[in-house]
Structure 1
Amino acid sequence: MDRRDFLERLVVLAPAPVLAPQAAQSSVRIADDELQWVAGDLPPFAWQAGDGSAQGYAHDLALAMSQRLGRPGRVSFYPWARAVKMTSEGSRFGVFPLARTPEREHRFRWLIPLMRVQYTLVGRAEDKPMTLDQLRRSPIGVLRGSPIVSNLQNEEFSNIREAKDYKDLLRMLNEKSLKAIYAGAPMLQAAIDEYGHNRAAYITHTTLGEATLYMGASLGLPEAEAERWIKAYQQLQADGSVARLQQRYLR
């Protein structure tokens, strides 16, 4: 058994992920060469509610494309770092929203662009605005597994702390164990709303870098399978479905 087969069998044997309701209701077997979507809780692109239901721009887009292809809608949720690792080391996984960075360029197949985002350093409004130099010496939170940590490292930030998701980062910020969170502006704003916080309680200190987010896939995904999903997306663009999802989630 080669390493790739071992990793993919290990995923099958791992504890079952939490699935979107559409996935839980389906008993249709996925063919060996068909793409399987994985995601983390990253509003406004994909997240789960307390009742186990799931939504988000990329999540709903994946389900709409599945419907176009005549397949059961299935999105499996994992901690973000694990979802990225599964996709980079497997052969038939798709993941979103994945930032396209130089470090990742040759590790994934880039299927569908979602949005161009700026990365911001956000703190509590009760604190005074901080300069970049002050922030360099302060505890800064970032999502575990995110490549944007290299932006902080390149700027000589000396106290970087990781968390599994935005909910945890906001908790750490509100408990004052962090001075700021470093994250994509739309993702962090959506997380503030989703987890019941008030946007007025936070301020943006500065921006640092930007990237385009994608629905990405494993390099080993067959070309024909990748093309099926791209064609489905183009059809949804043509009939206005993509614009309607953008209006709903990316306002």
Structure 2
Amino acid sequence: MNRTGFRPLFRPALARRRALFAMAVALLGAGTSSRAAEPALRLYTEEYAPYNYTIKGKPSGLSVEIVMELQRRMRLDIPIEVVPWARGYRSASTEPWVGLFVTARTAEREPLFQWVGPISATRAHLYARRGEQTGIRSLDDARKVPQIMVPREWYIHQDLRSRGFTNLEPVSTPADAMRMLLANRSVVIAMDESTVAETMRLAGLVSDPPEPIVKISEALLYIAFSKGTPAEVVQRWQQTLDEMKRDGSFAAIHQRWLPGVPLPSAPAAR
């Protein structure tokens, strides 16, 4: 009893209320920490016009527009980071929750990623300065030149390396390869045919465009998600892309960037 003779009946009830409040705050804090710890998807792309590149510091291009529309439909707002291809490729092949685009889907890369697409298609050639007599008529001939400039870790680089080419000279960007060719620092470069004109324009090169002399390979281009990205996330991206293809919005974007170029067809199930 207290001095007034009444038992403090309210104090245990108050203590219980305070304990319940403290528990609720703790649980709320734990939930917030859990959500904050949940990994966020990262999206990487590179300078690879007209598919993806920067204009006034902002990502642009065919695949960028498609990825942004996919995000709009899925109510996502993930920033697109433009990084050197080798860096983005390394992250996507070794870290969870990473998407990299556009990525050529090749036999070597097939088991390394989960694939959403196709977004487009491309063909790769060896290019020489227009009118120059290189004497190169085949890939075997190309093994004999001092060096072949090729963007580092592009599918073309990986393809030629897997064929035993020892004269490859990797560079950071396609523009670097183009500058070196036109400056007569290389006899040939390896490039995608759909990127040549835009690469020259964006690099401010006004020379005659180089000409293809030998075909290397062709490939379909995809968004590559790291193996550590949950399969249901990848499936949602593919389903949303399929919706874009059904309603015609994909075709409209593709033809705006690559007028007259056929839409890519998905290969048979692997």
Using the size of structure 2 for normalisation, the TM-score is 0.75
Displacement of 1:161: 0.5
Q: Which residue of 2 aligns with 1:37?
A: 43
- 2:97 corresponding residue in structure 1: 92
Aligned length: 222
The one of 220, 226, 247 aligned to 1:218: 226
**Counterpart position of 2:198:** 190
Moved over 4 A (4+): none
Q: Distance in 1 between matches of 2:63 and 2:39?
A: 22
- Within 5 Å, give how 1:155-166 maps onto structure 2: 156-166=164-174
Q: Distance in 1 between matches of 2:189 and 2:122?
A: 15
Whichever residue aligns with residue 91 of structure 2, its letter is M
Distance apart, 1:135 and its partner CA: 2.5
What is the alpha-carbon distance in structure 2 between the residues aligned to residue 170 and residue 93 of structure 1? 30
Amino acid corresponding to residue 121 of structure 2 in structure 1: R
SS at structure 2 position matched to 1:182: strand
Amino acid paired to 1:40: E
Larger radius of gyration: 2
User: Are the counterparts in 1 of residues 42 and 78 from structure 2 also a CA contact under 8 Å?
Assistant: no
Task: State the AA in 2 paired with 1:107.
Answer: L
Is the Cα–Cα contact under 8 Å of residues 182 and 207 in structure 2 kept in the other structure? no
Alpha-carbon distance change, 156 to 218 in structure 1, aligned in 2, over 3 angstroms = closer
Amino acid at match of 2:181: L
**Residues of 2 paired with 1:102 and 1:151: CA distance?**
10
Q: Which runs of 5+ in 2 are unaligned?
A: 1-34, 260-270
Q: Contact conserved, 1:119 with 1:185, CA < 8 A, in 2?
A: yes
Give structure 1 stretches of 5+ with no counterpart: 1-28
Residues in 2 aligned to 1:32 and 1:145: alpha-carbon distance in whole angstroms: 31
For residue 80 of structure 1, what is the amino acid of its counterpart? W
**What are the equivalent positions in structure 2 for 1:1-251 lying under 5 Å apart?**
32-49=38-55, 51-128=56-133, 130-132=136-138, 133-138=140-145, 139-153=147-161, 156-198=164-206, 200-251=208-259
Q: CA deviation at 1:236?
A: 1.7
Give the Å deviation of 1:216. Answer: 0.9
